[in-house]
Amino acid sequence: CPACKGENKIVLRVDGKQMNLLAVLEVRAEGNENWGRFLRFKKGKRCSLVFGLMIMTLVMASYILSGAHQELLISSPFHYGAFPSNPSLMDGENPSDTKEHHHQPSVNNISYVKDYPSIKLIINSITARIEFTTRQLPDREDLKKQELHMFSVIPNKFLPNSKSPCWYEEFTGRNTTDPYLTNSYVLYSKRFRSTFDALRKAFWGHLSHASGKHFRLRCLPRFYIIGQPKCGTTDLYDRLRLHPEVKFSAIKEPHWWTRKRFGIVRLRDGLRDRYPVEDYLDLFDLAAHQIHQGLQAGSAKEESRMTRILIGEASASTMWDNNAWTFFYDNSTDGEPPFLTQDFIHAFQPDAKLIVMLRDPVERLYSDYLYFASSNKSADDFHEKVTEALQLFENCMLDYSLRACVYNNTLNNAMPVRLQVGLYAVYLLDWLAVFNKEQFLILRLEDHASNVKYTMHRVFQFLNLGPLGEKQETLMTKSPASNARRPEDRNLGPMWPVTQRILQDFYGPFNTRLAQVLADEAFAWRKT
């Protein structure tokens, strides 16, 4: 010991820190003294030493045992980092992350366990106020008043010989006119300029000419993957677009129905100019060019191949994000939004097909936190943010209805984690009030994880897609999962068991209602 001035001192340390819980035990080595000296200690000193060793042994044993149990036998004053989990067990949208976790971390802070009863009271308060009510639907004229320009652009009827909803629109520009000059997606995102450069070069060759006028084919999606985020939608999108009959928008997630048409890029950054519906329709020009080629084809075979193209869109915000309504629509009774995204989609496409991918909302929230949190990510930080979000949600529920709180823009922006996104039953019931149940295909990421081939076959059947060749199907089903969790996030390990228990208590009533609506107990996620 360099600081002991010639004395030989043995100081017990834990995690590199001096052990201050007990008196520091010192053993002086003087000449040829041996352990027989111990017997000549006074009786009181011997008892003190033995007692100290016993206490120290219990503390250390408590710490060791806590690695396998959720509670400490004796709470230690020292702070230990979480044990790293097996990276192969935790993946964000990777289907492999839905396997059962056999590794259980220790509770990092015993106060979390002690605080559970008080948090449970908050959850009980929320649960007591849950009421799934039916919303009053607006009529078409009310919708038209809100979006006059949209209704002037999209027609009431589409071409009968195309599987996707398409129509011809007069193009008044010249052959030197840039059709994408003012497109907001091009102006605000450099990533997609190359895509639009290619469309620009081919644009004039895909016009129809009649009576001295020029017409371009416009299309909307036939189907939408509407949600939810961090539930495997990217993986589903990447596999589905490998089917030759499917063409997606130029941008995977345009977020037009929920954000861009209101001028929202990031809500915290304020509002920009609204993206007109023409900017959204431009995203489907690549598919429209191919469908137009089929409509103009000389052979029936070529026409059949091209007109069978099915256009899709995969914005994972479509199902749940209605944060913009407070800025553009008059408030309704009790703070509930008078118009929702599905009202407008249904007004133009009452026969649209809708695909939803869901997962255990508890795991979804943790994956969402790891993906969007920028710094100081940890199981501790997640637990604290969950607790804060529950308190905020309860405060809203004390004064407003469930629907008003779920769609409350101020509350959603204040939430440190996106707790509301996992309330699947609330959103789905509002969609089912507008669309028929037969128009939905609702999948679980857990099932997709265990059998990708079966999931994709269900999607093909739902969309009435043609069969794939053996090589195409192998490529689609055997390719690695998309949007997997980042290695640095995997190293953080799972959430604390007490946090998981809290979230299971919170989401439980909503999952139960979802399972009832879908007549499938798997959506209760009692065993994930």
Which domains does the chain carry?
140-523 (3.40.50.300)
Q: Angle 379-416-490 (CA atoms, 0-180°, nearest 5)? A: 35
Short-list 423, 316, 314, 438, CA closest to 365: 423
Predicted pLDDT of residue 115: 86
Per-residue pLDDT tens over the stretch 308-362: 899 999 999 999 999 999 888 876 668 899 999 999 999 999 999 999 999 999 9
Q: What are phi and psi of 226, to 5 degrees?
A: -95, -10
Strand, helix or coil for residue 273: coil
Could you tell me the pTM of the whole model?
A: 0.78
Sign of CA dihedral 99, 104, 109, 110: positive
Q: Could you tell me how many residues make up the chain?
A: 528
How much of the chain, in percent, has pLDDT values that exceed 70? Answer: 75
Between 31-40, 108-117, 202-211, 289-298, the lowest mean confidence (pLDDT) is in 31-40
Predicted pLDDT of residue 92: 37
> Which H/E stretch holds residue 355?
strand 353-358
Predicted pLDDT of residue 436: 98
Tokens 């020292």 belong to which residue? 78
- CA neighbours closer than 13 Å in the CB half-sphere of residue 282: 24
CB-based contact 406:426 (threshold 8 Å): yes
- pLDDT beyond 80 at 235: yes
Q: What distance in Å separates the CA atoms of residue 260 and residue 318, rounded to the nearest whole number?
A: 12
Predicted pLDDT of residue 14: 38
Q: What is the DSSP string of 113-177?
A: HHTHHHHHHHHHHHHHT----PPPPPPHHHHHHH-HHHHHHS-S---TT-SS-EEEEEE-S-TT-
CB-based contact 344:257 (threshold 8 Å): yes
Q: What distance in Å separates the CA atoms of residue 481 and residue 456, rounded to the nearest whole number?
A: 13
| Residues in Cβ contact with 493 at an 8 Å cutoff, skipping those fewer than 6 apart | 82, 83, 84, 85, 90, 103, 105, 379
Q: What distance in Å separates the CA atoms of residue 123 and residue 128, rounded to the nearest whole number?
A: 9
Higher pLDDT, 376 or 519: 519
